[in-house]
Amino acid sequence: MVNEMNLSGIVVHIHPACPVALRGLLADLSGVEIHTVREDGKMVISVEDALETAPAEMLQRVQSLPDVLSADMIYSYLGSMQNSVPYFHQGNEWPDRYQEGARA
């Protein structure tokens, strides 16, 4: 069992006329999931793998695809899957500072 993981969020700006072709190319990349594709050519993807590819290398792969105008990593997590389970997923309540109407 692999205990380490790599999770990245990438915003991709593509040529608006080419989203269908690019979706196929992105789907061919290991661990890529497309979350949003807007008509103006903005796309949000996530990349999840077990440390087989460095986040910077995957970003370069996305940037080099045809019709990609730009791609920027907006989130990257490298670490233990065991430590990645958020506090509230363990049955705990949100800390008061995150409750609706709470003051900072």
Identify the H or E element spanning 9: strand 4-14
pLDDT under 70: residue ranges of the chain: 1-3, 50-52, 80-104
Which CATH number applies to 10-79?
A: 3.30.70.920
* pTM of this structure: 0.71
The per-residue pLDDT for 81 is 59
| Domain boundaries defined on the chain | 10-79
Per-residue pLDDT tens digits for 57-78: 999 999 999 999 999 999 888 7
Enumerate residues 6+ apart whose C-beta is below 8 A from 41.
13, 14, 15, 16, 19, 69
